[in-house]
């Protein structure tokens, strides 16, 4: 048990970085202001962006979303990146996004979350289901079209050891197994993520160009909810 905890702490430091939720918990005194500032800054930028756009397709998620470079639009709907570094299903993203949208609605919201849950939160599938379901419930008030993307695989790279990778992949497998049912209960579309090439990350967690090519394509399948 002690070895497993040490591996998880090491993985947290690797994968999330200075703004990560896990790092904030481990060194709250020093990192909390930076995390809060980033969260507020991202929300403000989203507010500015969404204030001049009608009926956007919003991609909501964590640092994998925030670092993505998706197409600017699809079938006349602008695509808005609503990624937040360090976000998980416990980050209150529903209210965070609703505040940025003010009184507007989205043509569709595509949710790509779960990596940080697998890295930093105890792998309790029931708690994950409850948090994800509650988030989708909040988001359903902002759009009539919801999609949920599968969690991408991590790999052995940089300081992510084979033991760490194996442990986290077991968790990701459990969480991905319940995602289709979570989506179905929320009347959301589940988006399958094809198998990634090796390598597909820059550090074991965050995607490289090859990884993003597959990830982008899966995300863009969610635009068919409004594009047909």
Query: What average pLDDT score do residues 117-129 get?
Result: 85
Query: What average pLDDT score do residues 189-193 get?
Result: 97
Distance CA 10, CA 72 (A): 36
Quickly list H helices, the chain.
2-16, 21-26, 28-51, 63-66, 93-101, 115-120, 125-139, 162-185, 209-221, 224-227
Question: Is 20 a residue whose pLDDT tops 90?
Answer: no
Question: Is 150 a residue whose pLDDT tops 80?
Answer: yes
Write down the mean pLDDT value for the chain. 88
What's residue 120's pLDDT? 81
Characterize the bridge pairing of strands 57-61 and 108-112.
Answer: parallel
Question: Is 25 a residue whose pLDDT tops 90?
Answer: no
What's residue 23's pLDDT? 37
Question: Is 2 a residue whose pLDDT tops 60?
Answer: no
How does 116-128 read in b/e, with b if 16+ C-beta sit within 10 Å? bbbbbbebeeeeb
Token look-up 């309790």 returns 124
Q: How confident is the model at residue 228 (pLDDT cuts 50, 70, 90)?
A: confident
What's residue 130's pLDDT? 96
pLDDT in tens, 165-182: 999 999 999 999 999 999
Which residues lie across from 88 on neighbouring strands?
none
Task: Give the count of beta carbons closer than 10 Å to the beta carbon of residue 5.
Answer: 9
Share of the chain above pLDDT 90, in %: 80
- Is the model more confident about 29 or about 192? 192
The full set of domain ranges for the chain reads: 2-227
Query: What average pLDDT score do residues 96-100 get?
Result: 98
Query: What average pLDDT score do residues 62-73 get?
Result: 96
Q: Which option is the CATH number for 2-227: 3.40.50.1820, 3.40.190.10, 3.40.1360.10, 3.40.50.1110?
A: 3.40.50.1110
What's residue 66's pLDDT? 97
Cα distances from 47 to residues 36, 60, 83, 88, 102, in angstroms, run: 17, 14, 13, 21, 8
């Amino acid at each position: 048990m002690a070895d497993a905890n040490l591996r998880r702490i090491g993985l947290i430091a690797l994968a999330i970085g200075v703004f990560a939720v896990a790092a904030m918990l481990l060194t709250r005194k020093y990192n909390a202001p930076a995390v809060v500032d980033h969260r507020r800054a991202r929300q403000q930028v989203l507010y500015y962006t969404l204030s001049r756009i009608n009926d956007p397709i919003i991609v909501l998620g964590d640092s994998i979303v925030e670092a993505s470079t998706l197409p600017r639009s699809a079938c006349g709907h602008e695509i808005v990146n609503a990624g937040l570094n360090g976000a998980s299903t416990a980050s209150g993203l529903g209210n965070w996004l609703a505040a940025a949208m003010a009184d507007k609605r989205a043509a569709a919201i595509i949710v790509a979350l779960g990596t940080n849950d697998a890295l930093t939160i105890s792998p309790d599938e029931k708690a994950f289901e409850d948090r994800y379901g509650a988030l989708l419930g909040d988001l359903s008030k902002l759009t009539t079209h919801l999609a949920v993307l599968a969690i991408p695989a991590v790999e052995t790279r940089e300081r992510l050891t084979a033991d760490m990778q194996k442990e986290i992949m077991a968790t990701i497998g459990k969480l991905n197994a319940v995602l289709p049912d979570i989506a179905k209960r929320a009347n959301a579309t589940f988006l399958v993520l094809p198998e990634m090439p090796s390598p597909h990350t820059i550090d074991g967690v965050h995607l490289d160009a090859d990884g993003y090519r597959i990830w982008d394509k899966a995300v863009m399948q969610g635009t068919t909810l409004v594009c047909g």
